[in-house]
Structure 1
Amino acid sequence: MRSTKKMRSIRKTMWLPMLALLPMLFLTSLVRAEGMSIADTVVKMTLAEDVSMDDAVDSMLLRANALNFKMVSRLPLSKELEAMGVETKRIEIFQFCDARIAAQMVAENIDFSAYLPCRITLIEDQDGKPWLITLDLDKVIQMADLAPDLKALAIKVRDTMMEIMTAGANGEL
């Protein structure tokens, strides 16, 4: 009985990573049609040599808090995979949001909901090098036909995400 409950729990949690990746799957099909690669749609930062992955996480969480940008979810994807018997390097997805800005964007156009909340992935590549990766919001801002006030808010979100990532990459507390 216990094992059945555990399997149901694992099946349920398997959908969380997939749901988190849906906006990227949509964006991937869009950019291929325009001749871009998936690498053209993201911003990547490597961690400074003296910054551990745990230090990067602490720095991102502290900076997000200082900027009043709420972490709404943390998905330890590598732990989920390990629980299923899949060997993997570290992968964690952090989701941040300013609910007021999100509400304004969705009120303008419900399609923006596919990009919510903003994500930063902490990932160790096959060579053991740690990275922070997020959606290139400049690309989204360029595609969107935003009123000036909403464009200013989108730029604020982009700048906040970049500040959170930079703090993480440099281990800034």
Structure 2
Amino acid sequence: MRRFLIGAAFALGTIGTCYAHNPLNAIQGPHIDLDKTVIKVPLAKGVSPKSALQAMKIEADTVNMKYVGELQLSKQLKNMGIKSGQLTVYEFCSPPIAHLMVDADPAFAAYLPCRITMVAAGGRVWLEMVNLNMIINGAHLKGKLRTQALRVRDDLDSILWAGAKGNW
């Protein structure tokens, strides 16, 4: 019995130690104002979600980014019996730039593909994307990496605004 208790205590202590050292389990950290981590633009009056998507696809082609897919969360939620407004994630990518970034640091893979989300909130439909300035500046990118990251940022910004305005 004593051997069991010692073994159990050791196992629990080891698990507790592993848990404590896992950065995913960290509870503390800086307060983050989520609104400052995204760029958020409402659809212009008269622009439907369908026409916004069409405009984003056309602009993506114009800036040589690939439209690689979408996740229709609002449709999935409806199929599950959960009422939801518009909630769709659109995915874009420039494969050569993605390769360059991941080659430099595999952590960039977590940000792939680039996403623009269409979400209904506050009686409006919005397009949102991650504020890439935070990542570009926070990662202290230099040279070609910085140039290409800024290009992706500018291209996504162009896609976002084309969708918001319904330009196509």
Question: Normalising to structure 1: TM-score of the pair?
Answer: 0.79
SS of 2:61 mapped into structure 1? helix
Aligned match of 1:8: none
Report what 1:167 is aligned to: 162
Deviation at 1:34, TM superposition (A): 3.0
Alignment-derived partner of residue 5 in structure 2: none
Which of 104, 112, 119 is matched with 2:115 structurally? Answer: 119
Question: Deviation at 1:66?
Answer: 1.6
Q: How many residue pairs align between the two structures?
A: 144
Secondary structure, counterpart of 1:33 in structure 2:
coil
Deviation at 1:35, TM superposition (A): 3.0
Cα distance between partner residues in 1 of 2:94 and 2:29: 31
* C-alpha separation in 1, matches of 2:42 and 2:160: 10
Q: Which residue of 1 aligns with 2:48?
A: 52
Q: What is aligned with 1:84?
A: 80
Amino acid in structure 2 at the alignment position of 1:72: V
Root mean square deviation of aligned Cα: 1.8
- 2:125 is matched with which residue? 130
Counterpart AA for 2:123: G
* Distance in 1, Cα, partners of 2:45 & 2:81: 31
How many Å apart are 1:68 and its aligned residue?
1.3
Percent identity of equivalent pairs: 36
Question: How many angstroms does 1:71 deviate by?
Answer: 1.1
Q: Which runs of 4+ in 1 moved over 6 A?
A: none
What is the one-letter code of the residue matched to 2:124? K
**Within 2, Cα distance between the matches of 1:59 and 1:165?**
9
- Within the candidate set 33, 39, 57, 1:37 is matched to 33
Structure 2 spans left out of the alignment, 5+ residues? 1-22
**TM-score relative to the length of structure 2:** 0.81
Greater Rg by CA = 2
**Runs of at least 5 residues in structure 1 that lack an aligned partner in the other structure:** 1-25
Matched, 1:102 2:98: yes
The alpha carbon displacement at 1:82 in A equals: 0.7
Of residues 135, 146, 151 in structure 2, which corresponds to 1:140?
135
SS in 2 for 1:131: strand
